[in-house]
Structure 1
């Protein structure tokens, strides 16, 4: 029986698994799925598994008239101590249970490809799950380890995601280089500064090559939330006014709209009291049609489909000067042209946070820009124009390189088999 190792990049937006043949020392295949889970509205009594994962989750969500539970960005709850569990169809799911569903789906597909049960894996993790917070980081790592166990992995090691990306890049080099790696995903932005040497590929001892690691809890989801707040929420009544008492006009609390800027906050609307408050605001606003859009969004679980439109707008703007923010479902109608300049203004604060952290990272680790031979950017968010400009402006003398933004980390993790040579 052949020996295999899986390199797993469990991501906020997408997750990937690279199948590494330990005998031929080659990547046999790489599997990518969206990090999505959909629990059907009506449980299937004949089948214990009442959910689907990945691409099928989107299809099922739409075919089920968006009435079930749609879960995205599950990676972000790993470090949230406030999240203990959620109940779906009278069954409790904690953070590890939800993550395990995605890891198990990847494992099942990979096992089918190789024709055997592989229980050995190197799983990636961000440098910091939630900024530089040791307690939250420990909680997230514990939950991720439990998820791997539930998914069926027995022999597991963990590697920082940007190091995984670096090892994938190392395979392409002709000579030794000092490399700054930036891994910009959906949830986090991570940096690693290290020495890469094509002659050391697969070597056991690499600790001395790792010169600095760091990360910040800002990523593509942050950009989407900022866009929703700035450009989306006005269509859902953010500026709605209502008559609290005769002659006293107030504006609906903005806290309502903060809770539609990320999927984790959507449960905020489940309480009876908040639902009644929303109905009162609608009535006392004279039944404002835009505020009615908020009620439609909540009642029909349309959050993910709105963020699909935001994502489409963002992706278009990676290669175009303008894009249409377009959304038409039920009575909600959005059709607004967004220029690249306007989009860059919307995400400017988050890009500035990344830039400031990068400066701090360089300073704290005494990294001289002149000593950097090359930059390697990976992750879907790295394709954004503002991010490209950031690195080109900071390091005008350094070559900017990128690999497969969705496979690089998983492949590099699969090349990290040396971690098992304790």
Structure 2
């Protein structure tokens, strides 16, 4: 049996074909979409749990070495894994939010797969992360269908990582392929996510059209200009109908991060000044000299840059705690820096970004959204206005629109229609930005979350039937 598999940055989903119609399968209770999250007692628990409870063997000698190291570290920490200690999706998120310090939590590992400079042990670990998530999804899909699923078309972005080029793309696709093979898939094909979304839209066309597909997902934005319609739908090779491609690692996660940075991190000291300490009631000489110096921006960016391995490592490393305490000592607003220290101590970066995402979704329907943010023993309250959000996310929005410009430079013709898909495409301000970029071209949308998955299932029917 074959499926289309959307291993997404924000959510994962799979679909099978029934009577030439894609059907999404439930993956978490009755939900067809499972958040791309995982938690375990420790980082090292992932590899051991995959081997011990999911019956997945290491890929090679490097993987065996990583597994032995993980088991040894767990034993040194007296961690004895039990069935159910590794969790996925919403369950993983709920466990993390309940006590962030007690678990290892990762969101959107797909964001890291094309990162530069990954060492062999890191590559092996990311493969284990992806494999565990894929194995969980495959098992749930097989339980629903009561069939062995051995073939899959897996979606991939045009570019996994903006600066890594084709080498990064090969690295990321290699991790996905190895992980899927270890999870039990015997035949694996890949298809570009915007092309897959376009294939689902094509099923609705009664005449040929030139379609610009704009897929704004959680981690990437991809654009494809494609000839579509009855004359093309039966072709097993669509390369001649693809008129242009562009893609970059900028998506909904970036919108959330920029919104958190601009609107929430000032509560943690962003923009405040050094020079707040006093000696005998007056500022010290060193503080007076430094009173016009703002806090270092990286200390406020790194904790919320949840799609950047290096930034997260830099913020949460042990030596940074001393640096944060020194900043608090010298701060004009030490109470704000106390919140940043709490972010470090309680690993709150994911929670802050999640609050920003909540505001982004709320502002799709109203002009103002109120947030309540618990930090240590404090409850912070902040109102965010729609215009403030649009201003905060201007940088990633412009990057998304630049991809549209890039595709149109490759094109020999204008699109007849724009098909907008992906979870982040629901945001009205992104549609307005696209309308300004390409005026007088109608914009349509289908299932924002499911179009890619459905298209992957359609392509799986073509390549595996």
Asked if these proteins are the same fold (TM beyond 0.5), I'd say yes
Provide, for residues 259-298 of structure 1, a one-character-per-residue CA deviation record: whole Å limited to 9, x for no partner.
1221243332343322122222223437811100011111
The answer to whether 1:399 aligns with 2:430 is no
Deviation at 1:183, TM superposition (A): 0.4
Deviation at 1:202, TM superposition (A): 4.8
Of residues 203, 209, 216 in structure 2, which corresponds to 1:177?
209
Q: Secondary structure in 1 aligned to 2:303? A: coil
Contact 1:202-1:417 within 8 A present in 2 as well: no
The answer to whether 1:141 aligns with 2:173 is yes
Contact 1:16-1:410 within 8 A present in 2 as well: yes
**Structure with higher strand content:** 1
Q: Secondary structure in 2 aligned to 1:241? A: coil
In structure 1, the partner of 2:324 is 278
The answer to whether 1:52 aligns with 2:87 is yes
Deviation at 1:315, TM superposition (A): 0.3
| Superposition pairs of residues 13-412 of structure 1, within 5 angstroms | 13-21=10-18, 24-30=19-25, 31-40=32-41, 45=80, 47=82, 50-64=85-99, 66-84=101-119, 94-131=125-162, 133-198=165-230, 200-238=232-270, 239-242=272-275, 246-249=284-287, 250=290, 251-263=294-306, 264=309, 265-285=311-331, 288-363=334-409, 365-369=410-414, 372-412=415-455
Contact 2:11-2:33 within 8 A present in 1 as well: yes
Rounded to whole Å, the distance in 2 between the matches of 1:333 and 1:29 is 40
Deviation at 1:201, TM superposition (A): 3.6
Equivalences, count: 410
Provide, for residues 117-174 of structure 1, a one-character-per-residue CA deviation record: whole Å limited to 9, x for no partner.
2010000000111136122112111111112112211100000000110011111222
Rounded to whole Å, the distance in 1 between the matches of 2:285 and 2:297 is 21
Q: Runs of 5+ in structure 2 lacking a partner?
A: 26-31, 46-78, 278-282
Contact 1:78-1:139 within 8 A present in 2 as well: yes
In structure 1, the partner of 2:60 is none
Q: Call closer, same or farther: CA 1:166–1:75 in 2, change over 3 Å.
A: same
Aligned-CA RMSD value? 2.5
Q: Secondary structure in 2 aligned to 1:260? A: helix
Rounded to whole Å, the distance in 1 between the matches of 2:332 and 2:431 is 47
Contact 1:242-1:252 within 8 A present in 2 as well: no
Deviation at 1:385, TM superposition (A): 2.2
Rounded to whole Å, the distance in 2 between the matches of 1:55 and 1:256 is 29
Deviation at 1:413, TM superposition (A): 0.4
In structure 1, the partner of 2:64 is none
Rounded to whole Å, the distance in 2 between the matches of 1:353 and 1:271 is 31
Provide, for residues 52-107 of structure 1, a one-character-per-residue CA deviation record: whole Å limited to 9, x for no partner.
011111122133455211101211110113344789xxxx9622111122222211
Contact 2:3-2:151 within 8 A present in 1 as well: yes
Q: Which moved more, 1:268-277 or 1:153-162?
A: 268-277
Deviation at 1:402, TM superposition (A): 0.6
Deviation at 1:341, TM superposition (A): 1.1
Contact 2:273-2:332 within 8 A present in 1 as well: no
Contact 1:293-1:331 within 8 A present in 2 as well: no
Rounded to whole Å, the distance in 1 between the matches of 2:227 and 2:246 is 16
Q: Call closer, same or farther: CA 1:191–1:402 in 2, change over 3 Å.
A: same
Deviation at 1:41, TM superposition (A): 5.9
